Structure 1
């Protein structure tokens, strides 16, 4: 079969952990493994451009038995060539490309045209979803706690506060029931209006963020992913109801369905001096990680 001409249909935005799909293409890899492309999948891949949420743990069930999925990566097809993972030179959604979920397996691949079942490790997915939702909440709460530090007008976040998180973020990593976000405080951020003294009172900032998070979690609030189109390259948004109003943030990950599922959510802030700047690591922890 030829390479697919349309995006993989993804069902994980609606929290599905099982799906059935047709094998459209099998790409042999140089290391002896294979990349299996399906017409639809419930498995969430890692996005190479912004790899904040790890790939799901999952397996393919074929007529010959169970195949462990070693990795799940985003792939792109252009001019009849498949680019996988780190070899993908463009962002998902780039015009003129087809974007697919590649299920990486080791062993005999299912035949093209066959029907297979995808089963995702639901417990691991739930842990990552909690970590990702808590990460968004913590970013909004941190923005609010730092709002009065800015000396110049700045772009705002989904709650209307100066968007420290998006302006200062260097990296973000989601884990089971937690996340680590690293912010860089350097000359670029100071030119935008955030002063070098912005994190001088770490204790106050931490207490304010944790207090706001406690209020939000106690009140609960519906969470969902808005996905106007079912294809992998469709623009998706995280939507959440907070006491201050409904918020929407572009996001391609997975999430809980209600804030009440998280238990307590707390953060710690850890500053480290680096060359020419300070880096602040915010670790966010959802209460269930302690169970």
Structure 2
């Protein structure tokens, strides 16, 4: 079976929960699973380069048979080898095709050229989209609340505040209706002008300020429109999260899924945990639906 020559067309940035595609390639894997590659899919995969958002849940419908998708990851091929979840290059690298690998336990009856319908579980998508949207908003609120602790000029975020999240992020995990972000407050950040020594005394006020800003945004509800802007419909093309906040539009590079507004939410809150010995700050973000 020949390997795909181009990127998978992805429709999840538009919020799609279903799609129809043609099987291009099947790749048996060492763990007994099979990677099914379609030309087009609504299924959101895990990107191993920055695996913050888990894959969608759902099924493939083939000739009336429902095949559970037990995982989905970004794959990459140079035309000779398919790397499933361990690409040696970043998404978008010229000369490589980036594809969504739908992982199934039973690929019987799935053959190249077959037409497959994709159905994504709506509640799983909604919960992860909620968590991802809240994660971005929380990062902006944290940047705002920490702005008094900077003593030098540094790059700013989409709202013009010192970009603590961008400069200090170590890991991010999107969870159902929540997220967990870990930041590194080491020597390099302090050299950039972050007053780490002042953080313990300021932590309660920072938390309060961030939550107050989040509450103001949530109160705007449907007035905060959210969308994904993209350069094209292929997996490897750049995408940006856009939120029309009361004070202006903000954009953040992002390949995940999101809500379309803050309508339907009653609260977004953050909790901060600072560990000076580990040079770390942890932010837990939770969402309450209306």
Report the TM-score, using the length of structure 1 for normalisation: 0.96
Judged with a 3 Å threshold, the aligned counterparts in structure 2 of structure 1 residues 67 and 179 are, in CA distance, closer, same or farther, namely same
**Does 1:253 pair with 2:256?**
yes
SS at match of 1:146: helix
1: CA distance, partners of 2:276 / 2:12: 39
Q: After TM superposition, give the deviation of residue 29 of structure 1 in Å.
A: 1.3
Q: Which runs of 5+ in 2 are unaligned?
A: none
Alignment of 1:1-291 (within 5 A): 1-63=1-63, 65-85=65-85, 87-109=86-108, 110-200=110-200, 201-220=202-221, 221-274=224-277, 277-288=278-289
1:89 Cα deviation (Å)?
1.1
| Structure 1 contact 130–262 (Cα < 8 Å) conserved | no
Deviation at 1:222, TM superposition (A): 0.2
C-alpha separation between the residues in 2 aligned to 1:94 and 1:42? 22
Q: What is the alpha-carbon distance in structure 1 between the residues aligned to residue 31 and residue 190 of structure 2?
A: 47
- Kindly indicate whether the alpha-carbon contact (under 8 Å) linking 1:76 and 1:100 is maintained by their aligned counterparts in 2: yes
8 Å contact 1:33–1:104 — kept in the other structure?
Answer: yes
In 2, Cα distance between equivalents of 1:3 and 1:111: 14
Shift of 1:70: 1.1
What's the CA shift for 1:144? 0.6
Q: Is the 8 A contact 1:23 1:37 kept in 2?
A: yes
SS across alignment from 1:260? coil
Moved more, 258-267 or 119-128: 258-267
Residues 1:111 and 1:64: Cα distance change in structure 2 (over 3 Å): farther
User: Residues 17-64 of structure 1, C-alpha deviation per residue, up to 9 Å, x if partnerless?
Assistant: 101100011111122221100000000000000000000011111005
Cα deviations by residue, 1:199-240 (Å, 9 ceiling, x for unpaired): 222110010000000001101300000122000001000000
Instruction: Output the aligned Cα RMSD.
Output: 1.2
Question: Displacement, 1:81?
Answer: 1.1
Q: What is the Cα deviation at residue 263 of structure 1?
A: 2.2
| Aligned equivalents of 2:255, 2:41: Cα separation in 1 | 15
Distance 1:93 1:49 in 2: 12
Q: CA deviation at 1:279?
A: 1.0
Contact 1:209 1:267 in 2 (8 A): yes
How far apart in 2 are the matches of 1:231 and 1:163?
A: 29
1:178 deviates by 0.2
Helix, strand or coil for the counterpart of 2:196? Answer: coil
Structure 1: tracts of 5 or more residues without a match: none
Secondary structure of 1:214's aligned partner? helix
CA displacement 1:124-148 (0-9 Å, x = unmatched)? 1000000000000000011011112
Aligned residues of 1:168 and 1:184 also touching (Cα < 8 A): yes
TM-score under structure 2 length normalisation: 0.96
Q: Is the 8 A contact 2:4 2:79 kept in 1?
A: no
